[in-house]
Structure 1
Amino acid sequence: MNAKTIERTCFLLAILILILVPDVGMASELHVKAGESIQGVVDKALPGDTIFIEPGEFNESILINKENLTIKSSSGNPDNTIIKGINAESYVFEITAIGVNISGFSITEGRCGVFLNRVDNCTVNDNKISNLEAGIYLFESSNNLLSNNMVYSNLDCGIKLLSSPDNVIYRNYFNNTNNARDNKFNTWNDSRGNYWSDYEGSDENGDGIGDSAYAVNPEAGSMDYMPLMEYLHSSPVLPTARFTSDITEGFAPLSVRFKDFSENATSRLWMFGDGNTSDSPSPLHTFFNEGEYIVSLIVSNENDSDSASVTIRALNASRQSDPVLPEAKLISNATGGRVPLVIKFVDLSRNADCITWSFGDGKKSCCPEPEHTFCCPGNYTVSLVAGNENGTSTTCIAISVLKNETDMNTKENLEGEEASGTENKGLIGCITRYIGGTSDEVQDDNEVQDESIDAEATGNSEPENESKRIIQGIIHKGELESIKSSVVSTKDSVVSAVSSKVHTETGISLENGTLRVQKSIEGFIDNHAPESSKNSLPEMKKRIAPWVPSFLGLAGVAFMVSMLKRGRRSRK
């Protein structure tokens, strides 16, 4: 038989073994929930399996006699996974097989917390071991690793090694009646040693490590050369599996996008439930057949592994009746207020691939939760359009934006001042035109009333007519005639003075006439103003008085020009 034939035969035998015995070399993960038996699961486990203990309190003594088993708390937190011995004589964990790993537990109440009985290559780490006779006990066991354990409040000793050389013990916390007993050579430090409650050395350079060694057994050479001044418990960094899917149900063929958001993971594996796998951080997978698929993501690092899953439902496309249409929905934190008005909107649409907001003031947005500011008063219709490949859906909400209270008060004050000025101008103008003889606008009460009725009927009410009615309410026509006569007589006296060429007397007569007219008007207002208006007479005088001298001054200039013209004609 040549070499090729032997190689081919071995290859076929290997395939045959894998087919007939598929579980060879395949480690399993087993779980123990609170209230279940850890020992029962250990008895069913195979060498190499990992047993996860869920948080809870367990009362049992566990014998581990299968090689390479890993027994650990699923949370990695010893404070929520507590294992107590059955009685004061029990060993909580007794290990009689090589390669066993115990981690993540609070171990208490019994004769011994962890007993390594004639074994090697075992690991005991990240545990809290307390209130026992001996915390950790090694008997004729070598090449084991004990690290990052808190061993405290144990009656006999924290750790006891009997005929057990070449073990490595470091970064542990020991605070017991007697911390350690060792009759062989063992290594008690690597880059760091252990914390010893009875260490009496100092740390002159402040590096956290004692300047002198801690003697466990000087005669056997068991020395901790790097004792810790303080203990900092460093829990292992565990991975956490988290992922999302953009859809969980639809008609086959159904394409689903997954995205990994796991923490503290160095590797990942997607299992899609249809026989396909992927290690991509964001895989797109298509389910071609109808059915329910459990999609799992398994992540891991050097300390542990974790998994998460979701169910994907692929429906029969032949049962699809109507297309799935979008349904637009929105909410807002307000529907009205004063400028500037800031409102937050939230999209609650269903079956939508895209959305568009229109705020009624020309602004748009595609954000799912936009915040919009309305700067101007008015009524706005805010609409949300949701769409997918089958159509669109729209919903609206009305927003009422009011003026700012400060702006409204300012405008009302300005309008009041304008109205007052207009009233004064109309009254003074009307009086001035009438006295000057350029208009015969003042009418009696009946005429004013008739004119007001006609204006209301025709819808035409001029400011001049309004001035007439204001004057009529204060001064009657006959009384204005007397004022006008006074002005005329003043004119005559001025003309007479000019004819005699006595210019000085002309100026005096004009000034006296002006004063007489002003006093006549003021006296008339005092005597004829309505009783209800007495409180406002000073204001009325203030409005009229500044305008009368100005008018009379202009009238005087006109009279003087006329006088000069007449003088020239008389000389000619």
Structure 2
Amino acid sequence: MAQTQTFGRTCFLLAIFIFIFISVSGTGMASEFRVWPGESIQNAVNEAFPGDTILVESGEFNESIYVNKENLTIESASGNPDDTFIAGETAGSYVFEIVANDVNISGFSITEGRCGIFINSADNCVISGNKISNQEAGIYLFESGNNLLSNNMVYSNLDCGIKMLASSDNIIRDNYFDNTKNVRGNKFNVWNGSTGNYWSDYKGKDENGDGIGDAAYVINPEAGSMDYVPLMKYVQTLPVLPIARFTSDVTEGYTPLSVRFKDLSENATSMLWDFGDGSASSYPNPHHIYSSEGNYVVSLTASNENGSGSASVTIYVLNASELSGPKLPTAQFIYNTTVGHVPLVIKFVDISENADCATWYFGDGKTSCCSEPEHTFCCPGNYTVSLAAKNENGTSSASILITVLPAGDGNVKATDSIGSSDGAENSVNTGSNSDKTDKYNTGNKKGSAEDPGDPEVIANAENSESKSNGKGEGTGSARIIHRDELEAIKNSVISTARSNILTETGLALEKEMLKVQKNVEAFVDNSLPGSVGDSLPEIETRIAPWIPSFLGLAGIVFMISVLKIGKRGRK
């Protein structure tokens, strides 16, 4: 028995929880319906939930609408009653019959029925901005209270403009009444705020010219219903609704597609973007990226205190892979030299594109997977260094030839310069005119042991063949790197090259100094003592063979000075 009671209580609590959840979700997630001419407003009411909004587009509708959903808003999309007309289904029908609380009706021309708006036992409704005419009664309230009727024009109705039966505590202000009989009511209601209503049968005067009658308009003196500030003239004030407008810089493109939107809405105090992919934004000019293929309807909802308006556009996002095929890697690298004496240390830097991994092959049986390896060649010879760059779509490789000279052999020239295993010349783009490239060959000593070339403009070599893994043909290639692309490794490259140049230049200068010193000693010992009694021509004849040596010594001293000045400047 106890278990049965426990089970019953559990089911009861669960039912209460489900009821609360449905109620909260139903009111918290409001939707917007749009009804176009030829469609049914009543169908939209039937499908709506409490809290939803039904926007009726401009046009003519012929139906009677029964509103039984609480907190429902039904309004014309334009906010202008002169372009949205609703006529009763028959002459004896109510155009709008409201039987639920908190219903808002606004912005319509309502005509040709028994009653334009019938509030039947409903409270807290708002009827505003309508034109109601050619009915038996314009507005009829039965057993309803705390409703607001404002800014309506009620005219040309046969029985009365507004009829109130067993209804009290309603507020009726800022309306226009011009009917056979304007009002019938036997309960207390409020007929004015800061201003009252315009009554076509008002007999009072406006002595001070402020637009308000000097005497009250009597509704029902026994119930105390009086319009204390009746209007002498009336101009219907239409609500200022927002107009949603926007632009986008593109409407079609390939993934990832970047789109910038710009809000051009009018009369809006807030806006909400829906990008069609589950993302939203409240920024005026948002930037959105579509990463997946598809068609996305982007809408902007602009709002103010009177209502909202919306505009939309479709963004077409195409699959980039279908256009360009798979992205293949491009192997490319840079280095500081291609020739030198053992032990030769060379710094390499991988700058491949679209590569998931890269492997170095140094030609001496050793490999590396580092992005910036530093490799030492210990034996003389020619070594082909290659870099293989891979991704899921294929492989690309690039290679160069490294010439390693024996120790102390300063006269051997490099057999190749950049990226060619057959000794062919290669041109390096230095960033100047395309017809003014430097040739790395033995004729101008670039790439030789004496001058390994300008390390700032040396780039990676020719492209070797590319391979595919079946997802796309490999077309990756290595390319020449310009001077401005080497700034990131400039210091390490320059310092290494500079040290090699200074070392080799120092050895050459030392040999030349020894030669000059011996020539000078021989001249001093042999020529000068025996020349005291000789004539000037004979002295000139003896000195002449040593003039080139003195000139060579002066040139060497000048070169050393220039090198020292350049070294201090670079420091």
Q: Provide the TM-score with structure 2 as the length reference.
A: 0.52
Q: What letter corresponds to residue 253 of structure 1 in structure 2?
A: P
Paired residue for 1:422? none
Q: Which has the higher helix share?
A: 1
Unaligned runs of 5+ in 2: 1-12, 326-571
Corresponding residue to 1:255 among 255, 258, 264: 258
Corresponding residue to 2:97 among 87, 94, 106: 94
Q: What letter corresponds to residue 46 of structure 1 in structure 2?
A: F
8 Å Cα contact 1:18/1:24 also seen in 2: no
- The 1:21–1:178 alpha-carbon spacing in structure 2 relative to 1, beyond 3 Å, is closer
Paired residue for 2:183? 180
CA shift at 1:213, angstroms? 0.9
Rg (Cα) greater in structure: 1
8 Å Cα contact 1:101/1:122 also seen in 2: yes
Q: What letter corresponds to residue 302 of structure 2 in structure 1?
A: V
Q: What letter corresponds to residue 265 of structure 1 in structure 2?
A: A
* CA distance in structure 2 between the partners assigned to 1:201 and 1:301 by the alignment: 38
Q: What letter corresponds to residue 69 of structure 2 in structure 1?
A: K
Paired residue for 2:307? 304
Secondary structure of the residue aligned to 1:186 is coil
Q: 2:218 aligned with 1:218, yes or no?
A: no
Superposition pairs of residues 492-503 of structure 1, within 5 angstroms: none
- Select the structure with the greater relative contact order (CA < 8 A; seq sep ≥ 6): 2
Paired residue for 2:57? 54
* CA distance in structure 1 between the partners assigned to 2:286 and 2:229 by the alignment: 49
Paired residue for 1:500? none
* CA distance in structure 2 between the partners assigned to 1:305 and 1:34 by the alignment: 20
> C-alpha offsets along residues 198-232 of structure 1, whole Å, 9 cap, x if unaligned?
11111122211111111111221111111111101
* CA distance in structure 2 between the partners assigned to 1:150 and 1:20 by the alignment: 37
* CA distance in structure 2 between the partners assigned to 1:232 and 1:267 by the alignment: 29
* CA distance in structure 1 between the partners assigned to 2:137 and 2:104 by the alignment: 19
Q: 2:43 aligned with 1:37, yes or no?
A: no
Paired residue for 2:142? 139
Q: 2:288 aligned with 1:285, yes or no?
A: yes
Q: What letter corresponds to residue 192 of structure 1 in structure 2?
A: T
Corresponding residue to 2:268 among 265, 270, 277: 265
Paired residue for 1:532? none
Q: What letter corresponds to residue 275 of structure 1 in structure 2?
A: G
Unaligned runs of 5+ in 1: 1-9, 323-572
- The 1:79–1:20 alpha-carbon spacing in structure 2 relative to 1, beyond 3 Å, is closer
- The 1:202–1:257 alpha-carbon spacing in structure 2 relative to 1, beyond 3 Å, is same
Superposition pairs of residues 119-518 of structure 1, within 5 angstroms: 119-320=122-323
CA shift at 1:68, angstroms? 1.4
CA shift at 1:279, angstroms? 1.1
> C-alpha offsets along residues 242-265 of structure 1, whole Å, 9 cap, x if unaligned?
111111222222211111010111
Secondary structure of the residue aligned to 2:90 is coil
CA shift at 1:290, angstroms? 2.6
* CA distance in structure 2 between the partners assigned to 1:145 and 1:122 by the alignment: 6
Superposition pairs of residues 106-117 of structure 1, within 5 angstroms: 106-117=109-120
Identity %: 69
> C-alpha offsets along residues 529-569 of structure 1, whole Å, 9 cap, x if unaligned?
xxxxxxxxxxxxxxxxxxxxxxxxxxxxxxxxxxxxxxxxx
Q: What letter corresponds to residue 49 of structure 1 in structure 2?
A: D
8 Å Cα contact 1:174/1:194 also seen in 2: yes
* CA distance in structure 2 between the partners assigned to 1:51 and 1:321 by the alignment: 46
8 Å Cα contact 2:138/2:157 also seen in 1: yes
Q: What letter corresponds to residue 251 of structure 1 in structure 2?
A: Y
- The 1:279–1:179 alpha-carbon spacing in structure 2 relative to 1, beyond 3 Å, is same
* CA distance in structure 1 between the partners assigned to 2:241 and 2:224 by the alignment: 37
* CA distance in structure 2 between the partners assigned to 1:194 and 1:275 by the alignment: 48
* CA distance in structure 1 between the partners assigned to 2:281 and 2:60 by the alignment: 38
Secondary structure of the residue aligned to 2:321 is helix
* CA distance in structure 2 between the partners assigned to 1:182 and 1:210 by the alignment: 21
Paired residue for 2:68? 65
Secondary structure of the residue aligned to 1:160 is strand
CA shift at 1:21, angstroms? 9.3
Aligned residues: 311
* CA distance in structure 2 between the partners assigned to 1:115 and 1:288 by the alignment: 52
Which one is further off, 126-135 or 275-284? 275-284
CA shift at 1:17, angstroms? 8.4
Secondary structure of the residue aligned to 2:278 is coil
8 Å Cα contact 2:134/2:157 also seen in 1: yes
* CA distance in structure 1 between the partners assigned to 2:72 and 2:245 by the alignment: 27
Secondary structure of the residue aligned to 2:134 is strand
* CA distance in structure 2 between the partners assigned to 1:215 and 1:273 by the alignment: 57
- The 1:240–1:14 alpha-carbon spacing in structure 2 relative to 1, beyond 3 Å, is farther
Secondary structure of the residue aligned to 2:201 is coil
* CA distance in structure 1 between the partners assigned to 2:227 and 2:19 by the alignment: 54
> C-alpha offsets along residues 42-93 of structure 1, whole Å, 9 cap, x if unaligned?
2222222211222222222221122111111112111221111122221111
- The 1:21–1:199 alpha-carbon spacing in structure 2 relative to 1, beyond 3 Å, is closer
Secondary structure of the residue aligned to 2:210 is coil
Q: Provide the TM-score with structure 1 as the length reference.
A: 0.52
- The 1:314–1:301 alpha-carbon spacing in structure 2 relative to 1, beyond 3 Å, is same
CA shift at 1:306, angstroms? 1.3
CA shift at 1:192, angstroms? 0.9
8 Å Cα contact 1:112/1:137 also seen in 2: yes
